[in-house]
């Protein structure tokens, strides 16, 4: 008996031999199309745009959706939630608002608070949204980033309709393919590349937007003009006073042109999901992101971008790449628009690049965020950006010093003195 057991225990199979198997190669191509609509008074009962975005074929089965609204927006539009509800009632045969709009406070603070993402996930779960349903996010860039992240991660992606309500969100953040929240003290550390289903830019949201946010968003239009479109830059110079004085028609033209540039870049530059190290649209952003953090988000994103562009334009000028007259025009436009070009946190530890509070930490964080080699956009002229992979801290320190000394008031047509 014991012999039999022993015999059975002996392996009956031949010694395994590795069989060489060829590598398999997968290739998947995905095309994304999304419209960016321009309208006025989206929730007027006579405006059928949202209905046709959510239910383009006018299917008899109404499309399910939820709405998340920026609480800060309600300060200027207190009746908005009631308007949304009335709109949904009006088109109830085609669209089905599953629950009263969720209100989430706007502003950067929500991107620093992980519970806010969970609140949106929870709502999607509670009302049972499926992947054929829609999340409509209405608000500033911070709210759109947060809700976009929640929508992109619930069920691995629920369709998102963005309704941006600040200038910055309409001319830049709302039309792109990114979302995200902050974590570990780093901007947009958690996030995805997920194109929206549709974007709806409604000029009516800008009518009562506070002046600070009205101006802040112009920075992103100046950015795209500086790296891609000299004619747009000079148009901005010519329209600066009208913009400061809140000419809505001029602002809408600015937004449209800026959107065109952002969409063209994403669609044609060849790297929509930023797999490489090059990110031209982030001109001025290495220091901007750092300054947002260093100022504990006292600065709006657009205000930080204005400072960041002033720094990199001044660097380009001091480095001999940018003509003095062009540099002056850039500084003057930013000042005419009302941007401060320095803050104490920029200057404080600029002479100690290794200090934890130094702005120069932003260079390594930027490189880490992009991956690969440090790649920064500089200017060779207005509308002509070019990339560099190395920078001189000493030249940056001079640029920061020069901006800190800028004491020239900025009447239109006035001249910026060179204080070097």
- The answer to whether 205 and 73 have CB atoms below 8 angstroms apart is yes
> Quick one: 106 or 284, whose CB is closer to ligand NAD?
106
- Alpha-carbon distance 351 to 407, whole Å? 21
Which residues, at least 6 apart from 199, have a Cβ–Cβ distance to it below 8 Å? Answer: 34, 35, 36, 37, 161, 162, 163, 164, 174, 175
- Taking CB under 6 A as the rule, does residue 280 contact ligand NAD? no
CA atoms within 13 A on the CB side of 109: 8
- Alpha-carbon distance 180 to 182, whole Å? 7
> Quick one: 175 or 331, whose CB is closer to ligand NAD?
175
> Quick one: 97 or 209, whose CB is closer to ligand NAD?
209
Question: Structure tokens of 197?
Answer: 């289903």
- Taking CB under 6 A as the rule, does residue 145 contact ligand NAD? yes
Helix (H, G, I), strand (E, B) or coil at 180: coil
- Taking CB under 6 A as the rule, does residue 168 contact ligand NAD? yes
Which residues, at least 6 apart from 179, have a Cβ–Cβ distance to it below 8 Å? Answer: 144, 145, 146, 147, 148, 149, 151, 152, 191, 192, 194
In the bound complex, what is the minimum distance in angstroms from residue 321's beta carbon to ligand NAD? Answer: 26
Residue number with the smallest Cβ distance to ligand NAD: 72
- Taking CB under 6 A as the rule, does residue 178 contact ligand NAD? yes
| CA 46 to each of CA 42, 51, 101: distance values in angstroms, whole numbers, following the listed order | 9, 11, 20
- The answer to whether 379 and 225 have CB atoms below 8 angstroms apart is no
Q: Which of 101, 139, 284, 385 binds ligand NAD (CB under 6 A)?
A: 139
> Quick one: 2 or 115, whose CB is closer to ligand NAD?
115
- The answer to whether 332 and 411 have CB atoms below 8 angstroms apart is no
Question: Structure tokens of 116?
Answer: 């806010």
If binding means CB under 6 A, how many residues of this protein chain bind ligand NAD?
A: 34
> Quick one: 84 or 322, whose CB is closer to ligand NAD?
84
> Quick one: 108 or 345, whose CB is closer to ligand NAD?
108
- Taking CB under 6 A as the rule, does residue 94 contact ligand NAD? no
In the bound complex, what is the minimum distance in angstroms from residue 239's beta carbon to ligand NAD? Answer: 20
CA angle 43/219/362 to nearest 5° reads 120
- Taking CB under 6 A as the rule, does residue 224 contact ligand NAD? no
- Taking CB under 6 A as the rule, does residue 142 contact ligand NAD? yes
Question: Structure tokens of 5?
Answer: 């057991």
Of 113-121, 171-179, 224-232, 368-376, the segment contacting ligand NAD by CB under 6 A is: 171-179
Binding map of ligand NAD across residues 61-80, x = CB under 6 A, - = no contact: ---------x-xx-xx----
Binding map of ligand NAD across residues 227-266, x = CB under 6 A, - = no contact: ----------------------------------------
Binding site for ligand NAD (CB under 6 A): 70, 72-73, 75-76, 106-108, 111, 139-143, 145, 165-166, 168-169, 172-173, 176, 178-179, 205, 208-210, 213, 216-217, 300-302
């Amino acid at each position: 008996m014991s012999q039999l057991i022993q015999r059975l225990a002996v392996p009956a199979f031949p010694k395994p031999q590795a069989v060489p198997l060829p590598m398999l190669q997968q290739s998947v191509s995905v095309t994304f199309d999304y419209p960016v609509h321009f309208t006025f008074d989206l929730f007027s009962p006579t405006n059928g745009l949202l209905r046709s975005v959510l239910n383009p074929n006018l299917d008899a089965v109404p499309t399910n959706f939820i709405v998340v609204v920026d609480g800060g927006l309600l300060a200027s539009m207190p009746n908005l939630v009631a308007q949304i509800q009335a709109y949904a009632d009006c088109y109830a045969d085609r669209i089905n608002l599953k629950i009263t709009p969720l209100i989430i406070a706007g502003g950067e603070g929500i991107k620093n608070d992980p519970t806010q993402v969970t609140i949106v996930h929870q709502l999607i779960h509670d009302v049972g949204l499926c992947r054929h349903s829609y999340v409509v996010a209405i608000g500033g860039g911070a709210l759109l980033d947060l809700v976009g992240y929640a929508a992109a991660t619930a069920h691995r992606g629920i369709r998102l309709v963005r309704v941006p309500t600040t200038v910055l969100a309409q001319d830049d953040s709302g039309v792109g393919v990114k979302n995200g929240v902050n974590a570990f003290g780093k901007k947009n550390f958690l996030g995805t590349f997920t194109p929206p289903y549709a974007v709806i830019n409604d000029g009516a949201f800008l009518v009562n937007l506070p002046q600070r946010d009205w101006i802040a968003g112009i920075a992103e239009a100046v950015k795209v003009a500086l790296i891609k479109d000299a004619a747009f830059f000079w148009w901005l110079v010519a329209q600066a006073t009208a913009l400061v004085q809140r000419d809505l028609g001029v602002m809408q033209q600015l937004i449209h042109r800026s959107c065109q540039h952002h969409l063209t870049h994403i669609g044609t530059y060849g790297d929509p999901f930023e797999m490489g190290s090059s990110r031209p649209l982030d001109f001025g952003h290495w220091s901007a992101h750092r300054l947002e953090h260093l100022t504990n988000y006292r600065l709006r994103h657009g205000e930080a971008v204005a400072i960041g562009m002033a720094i990199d334009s001044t660097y380009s000028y001091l480095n001999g790449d940018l003509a003095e007259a062009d540099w002056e025009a850039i500084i003057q436009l930013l000042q005419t628009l009302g941007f401060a070009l320095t803050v104490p946190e920029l200057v404080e530890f600029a002479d100690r690049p290794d200090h934890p509070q130094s702005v120069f930490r932003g260079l390594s964080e930027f490189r880490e965020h992009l991956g690969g080699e440090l790649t920064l956009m500089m200017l060779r002229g207005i509308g002509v950006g070019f990339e560099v992979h190395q920078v001189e801290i000493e030249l940056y320190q001079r640029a920061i010093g020069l901006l800190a000394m800028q004491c020239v008031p900025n009447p239109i047509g006035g001249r910026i003195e060179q204080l070097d």
